[in-house]
Amino acid sequence: MSRYAQRGVSAQKEEVHAATRSLNPGLYSSAFCKIYPDYIGNDSNWVNIMHADGAGTKSSLAYLYWKETGNLDIWKGIAQDAIVMNLDDLLCVGVTSSVLFSSTIDRNKHKIPGEVLTAIIEGTREFFEEMNKWGVDIHFLGGETADVGDVVRTVAVNGTMTARWPKSKLITNEKIAAGDVIIGLAGFGQSNYESKYNSGIASNGLTSARHDLLSSYYASHFPESFDPAIDQSVCYTGPYRLTDKVEEQGKEYMIGDLLLSPTRTFAPVLKAMLEKHFDAIHGLIHCSGGGQTKCLKYLPSPLRIVKDNLFSPPIIFDLIKKASKADWREMVQVFNLGTRLEIYTSSSSADALIELAKSFGIEAKIIGRVEKSEKKELYVHLDNETLIF
């Protein structure tokens, strides 16, 4: 059993998928989000899309950081995480504007005071204002804030996002085919619309990242930050405190800042791509839960995905791998490893898309290709090792 599973989480969400197997798959089975008929406007040329997600256990990290440093601003990043894990999934079916968002915050009032709620809500508003500058209009329709200390140990920050969208502007992944190349967009670095370096961690695999990197100090001082049912052998086993520093490309970063880098949105760049090169985009995959194996779930037919030119994982993933002693198979299944968005396109369209991404300060390159196959399969090449899924 992997250390991830020992901590009570699953990268592949097998039980979740089993529980929801009988639900309506929507109009397009290979689309990244479920797409339904236009129940709101009853127009056959339009569709309705709704998506729910959140910051996950990254909020537990924010709790530790806030308790240790007193910095309330860290909660604004958690607000962004909860939004972007919804928004960037919607981007993958082509939605880039006229989006509605409702927030859900569950807290333990004894641990999370009102000033934290204020920081989260202010962070939500500020993020939407920034996106509006880039032509991505998201409307904040309030939500629910509940005191549920019997259920939540600290705080859970989630949201629901919905849109009504024209069928003619959908990306359904049905056009992904043998011969396509895959452009990867980096989740790390500093884009034109970010104020500081982003580690690329996003909001998946944070249970393992937290326990593998942080020391037993946090188990003894903040027992409310973890599930007491977790085997102690995999609980806060790392060498670091959140305020410890590491060097990356000549600059020093605190471990806490790397772990809590807000999930980068690709909304500004994808809006430009979809407006200028819509027909060239055959498919979009957000490498979130399931990491680099996410693409297998959304292939329209038996195909082989070969990823043999991924970005070199940025420092946060090197630190996690060394501290956890995880093999590449587990790392690939749990983390995005720095390559967080995949664009499936023709080789003739690749250069224009790559240059457009770079104009936003986002690294982009061809990371792989699509080949014929008798089954859906994935080949990932890392460190002279080939992993087959």
CATH code for the domain of 56: 3.30.1330.10
DSSP state of 51: E
- The H or E element spanning position 306 is strand 303-307
In angstroms, rounded to a whole number, what is the distance separating the alpha carbons of residues 256 and 240?
A: 9
Total Cβ atoms within 10 A of residue 24: 7
In a domain, 271, yes or no: yes
In a domain, 366, yes or no: yes
The pLDDT value given to residue 164? 98
Q: How deeply is 180 buried, as exposed, middle or buried, from its count of CB atoms within 10 A (0-12, 13-18, 19+)? A: buried
In a domain, 382, yes or no: yes
Measure the CA dihedral 350/354/357/359, to 10°: -130
Two tokens at 65?
Answer: 């950081």
In a domain, 238, yes or no: no
- Are the C-beta atoms of 42 and 90 separated by less than 8 Å? no
In a domain, 206, yes or no: no
Instruction: Give the number of domains in the chain.
Output: 1
The DSSP code sequence of 105-159 is EEE-TTTS-HHHHHHHHHHHHHHHHHHHHTT--EEEEEEEEEE-TTT-SSEEEEE
The pLDDT value given to residue 37? 97
Two tokens at 369?
Answer: 């290709």
Q: Is the pTM of the predicted complex or chain greater than 0.85?
A: yes
Residue type for 308, please? D
In a domain, 243, yes or no: no
Residue type for 182, please? I
Strand order in the sheet with 138-147: 35-37, 46-54, 155-166, 99-107, 138-147
Total Cβ atoms within 10 A of residue 372: 11
Q: What is the pLDDT along the chain (389 residues), one digit of tens a residue?
A: 555 566 556 555 566 556 666 677 789 999 999 999 999 999 999 999 999 999 999 999 999 999 999 999 999 999 999 999 999 999 999 999 999 999 999 999 999 999 999 999 999 999 999 999 999 999 999 999 999 999 999 999 999 999 999 999 999 999 999 999 999 999 999 999 999 999 999 999 999 999 999 999 999 999 999 999 998 899 999 999 999 999 887 899 999 999 999 999 999 999 999 999 999 999 999 999 999 999 999 999 999 999 999 999 999 999 999 999 999 999 999 999 999 999 999 999 999 999 999 999 999 999 999 999 999 999 999 999 999 99
In a domain, 221, yes or no: no
In a domain, 76, yes or no: yes
Domain that holds residue 109: 3-197+260-388
Two tokens at 21?
Answer: 């197997």
The pLDDT value given to residue 248? 81
